[in-house]
Structure 1
Amino acid sequence: MNLVQSPPRAVIGLAEAAIDLGAVRANVRHYQRQLRPGTAIMAVVKANGFGHGAVQIAKAAVDAGATWLGVARADEALELRAAGLTVPILAWLYDATELMWLSDVDVSVATVSELQQVVSAPSVHHVHLKLDTGLHRGGSTPDQWIELTRAAAHYEALGAIKVRGIWSHLSHGDDAAAPHSRRQLELLRAGVVLARRAGLEPSVIHLANSAGALTLDAPDCNLVRIGAGLYGIDEMGAGLRPAMQLVTKVAQVRRIRAGEGVSYNHSYVTPTDTTIALIPLGYADGIPRSAGAGGAGADTEASVLVRGVRMPVRGRIAMDQFLVDAGDLPVEPGEPVVVFGPGDQGEPTAADWAQWAGTIPHEIYTGLGSRVPRRYKEATR
């Protein structure tokens, strides 16, 4: 089945995001083939699964072989547990008041004060000690690491916690040749040695993200965190499959004459007579305003696919709608529109929209608003 060739004419409401769970499974299996035997995969499903739906993506990833799930916040972990997912989950942003609800969720700890908050919680927690190896976005500083690991070993001996992991985060994970990544790996290795000297025996060591999992030679790390790659954000050209296709339908069509201004402030003026089609999505739905004419994005024109033809966006993207130029094509209201998808049939991709908006595909996916329903398919086998 091909999602692009058959967008439904009777779209639910005005638009929908069709999520190919088969693509998610295929992406997980792609990583499995590339990783060393024994390396586990943590599927990162924070931010509602990068806008794809956390529970559905998590279930597909686990079904394909992921043995861990990763989230940013406590409520995200609790949503997964409520949905019946039983694999280990790591959460790295939480408040001390939330710890009482996270007894069966692993939590990240970066300071002795955080560790003491976890110890004070009513249940014994599994923790992952985080070492700042160079991203400088959370984690224990190297000069505080010995104190943290010794304190953790003390509390573990008392039965108050269990240190299950040691981890860090790459600052240049999408750069295969980055000396920063090798430096970070060496710092993490040193941190693991010190932790073991303190008496800790973590079962998982993890550093690599989606790109780093394919580029960083780290045989002593036995877990990788796959976020972007899970959804087909292919930073390394690895052949991953985008899982989301955003489809809608033409809402209105009108013929306008040369010299007419289009949308707010008339930032685009038609050079010839043309047909303008109204697309019922806007920046409230996650279509970046900066991708429209007069925005701050790339010079190339944003476009959508209608009748197998790329139709360029004209004028500013508004909160609920934007306009495209159909030229002289006989377009009618109700025509299926592919805003983005895998790109197989010539439609734009999320990466294209990211380029037009001057951002990254992650922001395109996570910015997709709640007004756009998600529908799940098994199109990739």
Structure 2
Amino acid sequence: MSEMTPQTPRAPHHPRARAEIDLGALRANVRALRGRVGPDVRLMAVVKADAYGHGAVPCARAALAAGAHWLGTATPQEALALRAAGIDAPLLCWLWTPGDPWREAIEAGIDIGISGLWALTEVTAAARAAAGRPARVQLKADTGLGRNGCQPSDWPALVAEALRAQGEGLLRVTGIWSHLARADEPGDPSITAQVDVFRDMLAYAEKAGVEPEVRHLANSPAALTVPEAHFDLVRTGIALYGVSPSPELGTAADFGLRPVMRLSGSVALVKGVPAGHGVSYGHHYVTERETTLGLVPLGYADGVPRHASGRGPVLVGGKVRTVAGRIAMDQFVVDLSGDTVEPGAQAVLFGAGDEGEPTAEDWARAADTIAYEIVTRIGSRVPRVHINETDSGTSSGADGTG
């Protein structure tokens, strides 16, 4: 038997890619948010877009366990998936198109956001076929955002038709709500203007005979900084996941929030190259001197923004490096400046910042975008690993389902 050649010890193995989701941090964020809005205001945990990329079902369960009262989704498919997972908490879904599964939502007890007469027509037709179960609808007012919602001039007709259908037993108007356009811009006059319009439209609906269970206007930034917009319920999305809704409002730490997602990968290759060596497509980065390069097997197919090429920060080998050259579909390169890092070493793109790693906000600045997009865009081939699934800090599995 021939003698084996000694092998250079390798760094501890890390997965190709991993998005670690700290459900303990999420629960703490729910409690911090509830503390800010006070005991008389309920909290909706918005888990649309797979909980902003964090995993809708485990995040919904964690939020409810920490005291969230409602859940919110954009699409009916998202809402129905929560019901299919056995989650029966109050749930609002607001982004509907003609032909959507109205009847299924009615039968699942999902509150349906209604912004116009066409939607009210479809939901009442579905209610007639839903074995006598009335639809739960929440009328949305457009108080100035100019997206979904009913214009003030059309509000009387929508309210009147909703009350007529309610009188027939086809539906119950459970909520009046709206959405702010510039709550992330402190002191912007549109905030007060929208609050005033909302109060007027709410007063009209209540005078006409609507008795809503909940009235709500505030999103994450308004929940944190605009108490006059709190009403009965605040809808917290990005703040739930420990990301500040606006650097102008303050950092996550300023609000007592902790980032929930930590994105990392495994260094796949380390090699020495001479001075003047081009790196990645287009050679937008050329080495100034002899150096070492590290290859990280994550790219824009995994949600790493290509627009952060040459700027994105990554913690590798105990130092924050910068992406060298273009981010490709499946990989990018960092210049290790001659440092020795073994294949298999961990590369951390963002996290809470406790260990010197960048944050999602750092990547947002590098990509000229917002931190919402950084966490939400992480792709499906990056496994979500949910940790601290119970308050005891134990984790029951990588998929968050136990």
State the TM-score bracket (shorter-chain normalisation): over 0.9
Instruction: Give, in whole Å, the separation in 2 of the partners of 1:174 and 1:203.
Output: 27
Please state whether the residue corresponding to 2:295 is helix, strand or coil.
strand
Instruction: Give, in whole Å, the separation in 1 of the partners of 2:229 and 2:195.
Output: 11
Please state whether the residue corresponding to 1:93 is helix, strand or coil.
coil
Residue 100 of structure 1 is matched in structure 2 by 103
Question: Which consecutive residues of structure 2, in runs of 5 or more, have no partner in the other structure?
Answer: 1-10, 394-402
1:308 aligns with 2:318: yes
Instruction: Give, in whole Å, the separation in 2 of the partners of 1:9 and 1:181.
Output: 51
Residue identity in the other structure for 2:104: W
Instruction: Give, in whole Å, the separation in 2 of the partners of 1:115 and 1:86.
Output: 24
Residue 115 of structure 2 is matched in structure 1 by 110
1:239 Cα offset (Å): 2.9
Instruction: Give, in whole Å, the separation in 2 of the partners of 1:65 and 1:175.
Output: 28
Residue 10 of structure 1 is matched in structure 2 by 13
Match of 1:142 among 152, 168, 176: 152
Q: Deviations over 1:332-354 (max 9, x none)?
A: 11111111111111111111111
Instruction: Give, in whole Å, the separation in 1 of the partners of 2:60 and 2:18.
Output: 20
How many equivalent pairs are there?
366
1:286 aligns with 2:286: no
Q: Please say if residues 36 and 219 of structure 1, whose CA atoms lie closer than 8 Å, have aligned partners that are also in contact.
A: no
1:337 aligns with 2:354: no
Residue identity in the other structure for 1:18: E
Residue 327 of structure 2 is matched in structure 1 by 317
Q: Deviations over 1:234-261 (max 9, x none)?
A: 1332231100001111100110011111
Please state whether the residue corresponding to 1:34 is helix, strand or coil.
helix
Instruction: Give, in whole Å, the separation in 2 of the partners of 1:308 and 1:43.
Output: 35
Q: Deviations over 1:81-107 (max 9, x none)?
A: 111111111111123341011011111
Residue identity in the other structure for 2:49: A
Q: List aligned pairs for 1:167-178, cutoff 5 A.
A: 167-178=177-188
Change (3 A) 1:314 1:219: closer
Residue 196 of structure 2 is matched in structure 1 by 186
Match of 2:137 among 95, 113, 127: 127
Instruction: Give, in whole Å, the separation in 1 of the partners of 2:100 and 2:49.
Output: 21
Please state whether the residue corresponding to 1:319 is helix, strand or coil.
coil
Q: Which moved more, 1:54-63 or 1:115-124?
A: 115-124
Residue 381 of structure 2 is matched in structure 1 by 371
Residue identity in the other structure for 2:313: S
Match of 2:163 among 135, 143, 153: 153
Please state whether the residue corresponding to 1:183 is helix, strand or coil.
helix
Instruction: Give, in whole Å, the separation in 1 of the partners of 2:36 and 2:322.
Output: 39
Question: Which consecutive residues of structure 1, in runs of 5 or more, have no partner in the other structure?
Answer: 1-7, 294-300
Please state whether the residue corresponding to 1:369 is helix, strand or coil.
coil
Percent identity between the aligned chains? 47
Q: Deviations over 1:191-224 (max 9, x none)?
A: 1111011111001000000110122132771100
TM-score normalised by the chain length of structure 1: 0.93
Please state whether the residue corresponding to 1:259 is helix, strand or coil.
coil
